[in-house]
Amino acid sequence: MISGLIVYNSYDAKCNRFFINKCLELLNDETFSLKYVDEEKLLEYAATNKVDFVIYRGRNYLLLEELAKIGIKTFNNVITNKTANDKYLTYEFLKENNLPYIETYLEPKSFPCIMKSVSGHGGQEVFFVKAIEEVNQIKTGHPALKFIYQEFLENNGDVRIYVLNQKVMVSIKRKSEIDYRNNYSLGGEVTPFEPSQEMVDSAIKAASLLKADFIGVDFLLTKEGHKIIEIEDPVGSRMVYKLKPELDIIKKYVEHVKKNI
């Protein structure tokens, strides 16, 4: 029996029961055994139980480093998780590999600009700031956070390209009429989108360089062209099931996991 875990932190697990239950349904059979474990208990469980693989849906790459030391395969790998969940590391990765990026700074260069924590996700900890006084106020309110600063670019929404095993599965556009952030979780409208070949090539290149199993590559649609703004790991599936339920992207992901343990 090949034994695995699916792991979220306890807070995120409440919002992702569909993903968890779907994986449990598909990865418990005569060959595979899958169990859910909270991130907070992962290392303790792995130290005392047989674990061959972990579907990790958290954002703490240090846990993946510990699993790698004891020979447990993870989906995604350490470098993908570390890069995707630090926005400054993402910027450096994009720039180093000649992928489209937005110039990013550790201190504000001009105003207005977008101020983001390096570890935020889902549109959280993102601020539109017009003056240094606003920056200082936000820093005071969030003393533990590290921030980056990007030029505010007029845009026509953003696009998430879902890449599984270095293949594009689906692309979805998000556009908000009520916020400068286009996130679906914050009320952005979602529609299917046909990306350019250049966008497809960029998404696949990013996934290939990271050796990622399943990620989202997010592009901002600006007047100057498309710019990668984030790499999503873990990437959610709610938008896909809303617009393309017949794709059953979690099933395709599980099939990939089974073939690559």
Q: Which of 167-176 are b and which e, b meaning 16 or more Cβ less than 10 Å from the residue's Cβ?
A: ebbbbbbbeb
- The superfamily CATH assigns to domain 83-100+154-247 is ATP-grasp fold, B domain (3.30.470.20)
Per-residue pLDDT at 222: 93
pLDDT for res 84: 98
**What is the model's pLDDT at position 219?**
97
CB 150, CB 91: distance < 8 Å: no
- Identify the DSSP state of 176: -
CATH number belonging to the domain at 2-75, selected among 3.40.50.300, 2.60.120.20, 3.90.550.10, 3.40.50.20: 3.40.50.20
Q: State the Cα–Cα distance between residues 163 and 171, nearest whole angstrom.
A: 9
pLDDT at 186: 47
Nearest to 62 by CA among 37, 86, 36, 28: 86
Provide the token pair at 257: 């996991």
Rg (CA), the chain: 19
Predicted pLDDT at 184: 42
pLDDT at 183: 56
Q: What is the widest separation between alpha-carbon atoms in the chain?
A: 61
Distance (Å, rounded) from C-alpha 71 to C-alpha 65? 10
Q: Under 8 Å CB-to-CB from 41, ≥6 apart: which residues?
A: none
Per-domain residue ranges for the chain?
Answer: 2-75, 83-100+154-247, 104-151
Average pLDDT per 10 consecutive residues for the chain, totaling 261 residues:
97 96 98 98 97 98 98 98 98 98 96 95 89 97 97 92 98 77 59 97 98 98 94 96 97 98 93
